[in-house]
Amino acid sequence: MSTPRIEVHLSKIRHNAKTVVERLKTRGIGVTGVTKAVCGHPAIAQAMLDGGAVGLAEARLSNVRRLRNAGMTCPITLIRTPTLSQVDQVIQYCEASYNTEILVITALAAAAIRKDCIHGIILMVEMGDLREGIMPKDLGSVAQQVVDMPGVTLKGIGANFACLGGIAPNAADMEALSDLANETEGQCGPFLHTVSGGNSANLPWALGGHPVCRINDLRLGEAILLGVDPVSGDQIGGMYTDAFTLVAEVIETGSKPASHPQSICDPVFKRLHLVPKSGQSTQIILAVGQQDTDILGLSMPPGYRLIGATSDHLVVGTYHSTHSVGSEMKFQMNYSALMNAMSAPDVKTKLLRGSHSRHAHVSQGSGTHLASI
C-alpha cells in the first residue's frame, strides 16, 4: 500500500462530531464544521454533517470548489475575509462569508446583484486575538452600511480567539460579544441570526456551565478532527484522538552512534535543545519529511525518540526496534501536522469506513507530542 499515507477513520470523526453537537445542543449552540485542515475533503466533511454539524466553513475557495464538485449542497461559509479578486467565486460557491472590510463587502454586493442573489455577511469583531476583526467601536457603523446595501444581508457577527494571540476566550468575552450583538440590533434593526463565539478553543467555556447569552454558533475543526482542546492539548472526554494516523515506510535501519548536541545545525532543533541518549541505538530512517508534514507535530510511539528530520527523511531512534526495511511506522498528529500532511501532494489519504470501538481512546498508547527540555 502506498506510503506515506494518512489513514482516516470516518466513524471516529462522525462520533466526535455527534458527541460535541449533542453536548452543545443542550446549551442552545449549533456547530459549524470547519474543513480547512483536511483541504475540504468531501468524505470527512460528510462525516461532520452526519454527526450533526449544521453546515461547513472553509478558508480557501479551492476547498469549497472541491466540496461543491463532490455534490455537497449544504451551506458553506467562507471564514477567511474574501479577496477582492475572488468575489464572484465567493458568491457562486458560498451562501455567506465572514468580513471585516467594507470595500470587500461592497464588491460582494455588486457580484451578488450580477448573480441575482443575496449573500450573507457575518462581521468579524476584534475581541483580543489581534488577527482579523472590526474594532467594537466601529461595528455599528459598518453594520449599518451592510444593512443599507443591496445584494447582501447582515446575517450576524462573530469573533476569533486563541489563534494569533493565543489567548483562550472566557465568559467575560462571550458576554461582551453578546452585548455587541444586542447593540448592533438596537442600532441597525434586523435580528442577527448568527452570533458565532469562535472556534474549538471555546469548548471549555461552552461546556463549563457559564451563561451562553447570545452565542448560538461555534466553528469547530480541531475538536472534531482530533478530539482535543487546542489550548491545553488535552483529550476531550468521550472523543477520539486517533481519527487520523500518518503511516510512513522504513527505508533504512542500523546501529549508529548517537549524535552530539553541538553537531545540531537545524535552527528548529537547536531551539528545542533535543538531547539524545548516550551510547548506540537503532536508527530508523523513514520516507517522510518536512515537505510532507510538521515533524514537530508528530507523536512518537512509545519507546521511540526523534533524532532529526530533513525535507524528505525522518530519523528516529530506539533501543528495541523490530522494524525492518519495508515495514511501516504509525504516528499520531497534532493540528499543524495534520494540516500540512493533508495538503502535501505525496501523502495519500486512505478512508476507513468500519465501525470504531465502543470507548474513545488513543490507539498509540502513551505516545506524547515533542516538547522542549
Coil, helix or strand for 302? coil
Coil, helix or strand for 193? coil
Q: What is the per-residue pLDDT for 93?
A: 98
Q: What is the per-residue pLDDT for 281?
A: 80
Res. 368: pLDDT tops 70: no
Confidence class for position 362, pLDDT limits 50, 70, 90: very low
Q: What is the per-residue pLDDT for 350?
A: 98
Q: What is the per-residue pLDDT for 138?
A: 98
Bridge partners for 122 per DSSP: 98, 156
Res. 169: pLDDT tops 60: yes
Rounded Cα distance between 62 and 80, Å, is: 13
Coil, helix or strand for 177? helix
Q: Per-residue pLDDT tens for 261-310?
A: 545 556 655 554 454 555 568 999 999 999 999 999 999 999 999 999 99
Q: What is the per-residue pLDDT for 167?
A: 83
Q: Per-residue pLDDT tens for 200-228?
A: 999 999 999 999 999 999 999 999 999 99
Closest CA to 24 of 285, 226, 253, 202: 202
Confidence class for position 365, pLDDT limits 50, 70, 90: very low
Q: Which residues of the chain form beta strands (DSSP E)?
A: 5-9, 30-34, 55-58, 76-78, 96-99, 119-125, 152-159, 194-196, 217-220, 244-257, 280-286, 298-299, 304-309, 314-318, 328-333, 348-352
Q: What is the per-residue pLDDT for 278?
A: 53
How far is the CA of 59 from the CAs of 56, 80, 340, in angstroms? Answer: 10, 5, 15
At 330, list the grid cell: 504509525
Q: What is the per-residue pLDDT for 268?
A: 59
The Cβ of residue 338 has, within 10 Å, a number of other Cβ atoms equal to 24
Domains located in the chain, CATH noted: 9-226 (3.20.20.10), 244-352 (2.40.30)
Average pLDDT, the chain: 91
DSSP sequence for 102-141: HHHHHHHHHHHHHHT--EEEEEEE-SSS-SS-B-HHHHHH
Closest CA to 40 of 21, 76, 16, 66: 66
Res. 366: pLDDT tops 80: no
Percent of the chain residues topping a pLDDT of 90: 83
Q: Residue 100: phi, psi to the nearest 5?
A: -135, -20
Q: What is the per-residue pLDDT for 188?
A: 95
The helix or strand, by DSSP H or E, that contains position 84, with its residue range, turns out to be none
**What does the pLDDT average to over 50-75?**
98
Percent of the chain residues topping a pLDDT of 70: 88
Res. 142: pLDDT tops 90: yes
Number of H-type helices and E-type strands within the chain? 11, 16
Q: Per-residue pLDDT tens for 238-272?
A: 999 999 999 999 999 998 765 555 455 566 555 54
Res. 364: pLDDT tops 60: no
Res. 363: pLDDT tops 50: no
Q: What is the per-residue pLDDT for 270?
A: 55
**63 Cβ neighbours under 8 A, 6+ residues apart:** 35, 36, 39, 40
**What does the pLDDT average to over 175-187?**
97
**322 Cβ neighbours under 8 A, 6+ residues apart:** none
Q: Per-residue pLDDT tens for 326-357?
A: 999 999 999 999 999 999 999 999 999 876 65
**190 Cβ neighbours under 8 A, 6+ residues apart:** 147, 153, 154
Rounded Cα distance between 296 and 294, Å, is: 6
Confidence class for position 165, pLDDT limits 50, 70, 90: confident
**What does the pLDDT average to over 75-88?**
98
